[in-house]
Every structure is written in C-alpha cells, then in structure tokens.
C-alpha cells in the first residue's frame, strides 16, 4: 500500500494574483519564493521548494493538491491500487516535472470531490529552500478540507485506494484522515456539502501565542475572521479561521494530535453537535467555507 511523507503543496486559483500574492505574504505570513514565467506565484512555509502556488484564474478555489510520497518505490504501489479501482491516472512528463521542481509525479481526479491530486517526489535540486518564518511562525502546510455530496464514498476512496487512515469523524458530516504514516491527525478532511468544493486550507503554527497574536494582527489588517479562536476536540488543535481576498477560508492551528505508525488509537465518532467542532463555544460566520470552486482537470 502507498506510503506518504505529507501533504506537500496546494495550488489555488485566485481572481487577482497581485492582490493574493501580497495577502499570502503580508497577512497570512508565507514567504514569497518567486513568480514563474506563466505568472503563477510560489510561496513557502517550510523548507520545500513551495507550499502554495497561486494561479490567476476565476472562479477562486482549488487547482490541485500535492501529496508527497515516501520514496520513488511508492509509485508502483499507487499505480496498482489505481488500476485495481479503475481510476485513470497520468504520469507527468519530464519537462512538466522539471518546471515544477519535482522528480516524478502521477495525477488523478479524485472521483468524488473532483479534486486533482498529484502524487510526487521532490526534485533533488540545489535551489535555495531556506525558510524564515514571519510574524506568524508557520511550521507547515497542515491540511485541506474538501466538500462533496459523496463524502462517504470519498472517505472510502482515500482509505481503501490511497491508503489514508481515518483519525476521527463528527457524525456523518466530516471525516479527518491522515496520509499514512504521516503522524498528524489529518492531512485531508472530507465534509458533506451540496457540491464539490474546497472548504479550507490549514497552516500549522508553532505555539498558542501565534494564534493569539494573529487574532489582533488580522483584525488590525482588516482581514475577515470567520471562526475562533477556539479548540477542536477532534485533533485537540487551537484554531483561528480567516478569509483570503477572494473569500477562500484559511485556518491557523496549533497543537494537533500525532499518531504512531503502529498501535495507533482507533478512530472515534463524535456527535454531530457544535461542541464537537469547538469546545470553547465560538460562533461561526456563514462565510466560512463558502468560496472554493474545484477546477476539474482532464486526465487523458
Ligand atoms: C470545522 C472543521 C471542518 C474542522 C473541525 C475539526 C478540525 C480539527 O480537529 O483540527 C479541523 O481542523 C477543522 O477544520
Ligand atoms: Fe481544519
């Protein structure tokens, strides 16, 4: 079965690249890396080549998600699983990989959310990958949550075909899964929604003070805070959600539960109640998770 390192990158469509590049650097606190010839902007929040890629394309939402495999031998296991399930896949050409600073990649359309998933290993190039945390000490791209009306089928696909492990669910509304054996409680969440969508993108920060400071900083910068601060009983994280310039929901969180590779605890099902989302009792702005079209790629 396929083994992963982590959720590696997320590529977003935004209405104005200049406006969003400034926001993701100055407000969200990522490091600007460079602009590619096609105009897309690379930002990072760890020592990888990039963690977030912005593309100027309406409507705003998700272009694709990169899942870093443990090593090159995982492609064989992944391809076997995809063929057995009858899921079409495409291997990216050497020139496309070079452009994206990756050594090898396979792309699929996840059949239930329609999200483009890219399974990859990074290039072993000599590019500068230093990362200097900014006002908010982001440690990594944490997770994304995808919405679909076929959420139970999506969970089965991530679990049985892609070898994600379920960490917890809240009733039948949301399930949190980790790309095995990455230790963090979830790299992907799947939420019930009326149509396929990106619900939010999460960045994990260094300490609770990053959340408290962000609350005041975001207010001063005029960003829309849409939920929190609060604590998620599922992963144990303290959270704060805010909107990017197009209304895409971003989350900072601190303190996520970690799982061992073996003898991990069993997944839990928490009741479908507000206390299962937030044990501090914060109220949610209805704009949370409301913008995030999923661009559907053609897998030839
Ligand atoms: C409100 C959302 C879907 C949610 C719930 C719980 C967690 C967590 O346990 O960390 C999240 O990260 C969420 O985004
Ligand atoms: Fe989250």
The token duo for 147 is 């919405």
User: Is the peptide bond between 181 and the residue preceding it cis, with omega within 30 degrees of 0?
Assistant: yes
Measured by CA distance, the residue closest to atom 2 of ligand 1 is: 277
What is residue 300's predicted lDDT score, i.e. its pLDDT? 73
Q: Which of 189, 249, 258 to mutate to test the pocket of ligand 1 (most atoms within 8 A of CB)?
A: 189
Taking the CA of residue 168 as reference, the ligand 1 atom at the shortest distance is: 9
Domain boundaries, the chain: 4-128, 138-291
- What is the distance in A from the centroid of ligand 1 to the CA of 86? 31
What is residue 125's predicted lDDT score, i.e. its pLDDT? 81
Please report which helix (H) or strand (E) contains residue 208, including its range: helix 208-221
pLDDT in 10s for each residue of the chain, 300 residues: 999 999 999 999 999 999 999 999 999 999 999 999 999 999 999 999 999 999 999 999 999 999 999 999 999 999 999 999 999 999 999 999 999 999 999 999 999 999 999 999 999 887 788 899 999 999 999 999 999 999 999 999 999 999 999 999 999 999 999 999 999 999 999 999 999 999 999 999 999 999 999 999 999 999 999 999 999 999 999 999 999 999 999 999 999 999 999 999 999 999 999 999 999 999 999 999 999 999 999 987
Ligand nearest 232 Cα, by number? Answer: 1
Same fold, 4-128 and 138-291: yes
Q: Which residues of 219-257 are buried (b: 16+ CB within 10 A; e: fewer)?
A: eeeebbbbbbbbbbbbbebbbbbbbbbbbbbbbbbbbbb
Residues with CB under 6 A from ligand 1: 145, 174, 176, 189, 191, 202, 232, 234-235, 237, 251, 253, 277
Report how far Cα 165 is from the mean position of its chain's Cα atoms: 16
CATH level 3 topology of 4-128: 2,3-Dihydroxybiphenyl 1,2-Dioxygenase; domain 1 (3.10.180)
Measured by CA distance, the residue closest to atom 10 of ligand 1 is: 235
Whole-number CA gyration radius for the chain: 18
Taking the CA of residue 186 as reference, the ligand 1 atom at the shortest distance is: 10
- What is the distance in A from the centroid of ligand 2 to the CA of 141? 11
- What is the distance in A from the centroid of ligand 1 to the CA of 231? 9
- What is the distance in A from the centroid of ligand 2 to the CA of 212? 17
Q: Which of 185, 277, 285 to mutate to test the pocket of ligand 1 (most atoms within 8 A of CB)?
A: 277
What is residue 91's predicted lDDT score, i.e. its pLDDT? 98
How far, in Å, CA of 10 to CA of 48, rounded? 12
Whole-complex ipTM:
0.99
- What is the distance in A from the centroid of ligand 2 to the CA of 98? 31
Q: Tell me if the domain spanning 138-291 has CATH number 3.10.180.10.
A: yes
Cβ atoms within 10 Å, residue 132: 5
């Amino acid at each position: 079965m396929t083994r992963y390192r982590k959720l590696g990158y997320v590529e977003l469509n935004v209405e104005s690249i200049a406006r969003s590049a400034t926001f993701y650097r100055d407000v969200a606190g990522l490091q600007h890396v460079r602009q590619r010839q096609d105009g897309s902007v690379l930002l990072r929040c760890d020592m990888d080549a990039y963690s977030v890629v912005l593309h100027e394309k309406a409507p705003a939402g998700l272009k694709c998600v990169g899942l870093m495999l443990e090593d090159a031998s995982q492609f064989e296991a992944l391809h076997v699983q995809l063929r057995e399930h009858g899921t079409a896949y495409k291997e990216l050409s050497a020139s496309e990989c070079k452009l994206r600073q990756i050594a090898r990649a396979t792309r699929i359309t996840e059949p239930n959310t329609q999200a483009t998933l890219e399974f990859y290993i990074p290039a072993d190039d000599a590019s500068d990958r230093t990362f200097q945390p900014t006002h908010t000490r982001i440690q990594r791209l944490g997770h994304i949550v995808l919405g679909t009306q076929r959420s139970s089928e999506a969970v089965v696909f991530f679990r049985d075909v892609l070898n994600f492990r379920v960490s917890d669910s809240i009733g039948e509304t949301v399930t949190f899964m980790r790309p095995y054996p990455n230790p963090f409680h979830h790299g992907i969440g799947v939420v019930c929604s009326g149509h396929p969508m990106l619900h939010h993108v999460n960045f994990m920060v260094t300490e609770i003070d990053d959340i408290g400071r962000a609350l005041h900083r975001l207010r001063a910068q005029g960003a829309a805070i849409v939920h929190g601060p609060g604590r998620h009983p599922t992963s144990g994280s303290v959270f704060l959600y805010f909107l990017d310039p197009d209304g895409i929901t971003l989350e900072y969180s601190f303190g996520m539960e970690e799982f061992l590779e073996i003898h991990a605890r069993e997944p839990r099902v928490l009741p479908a109640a507000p206390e299962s989302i937030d044990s501090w009792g914060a109220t949610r702005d209805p704009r949370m998770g409301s913008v995030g079209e999923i661009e559907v790629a053609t897998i030839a």
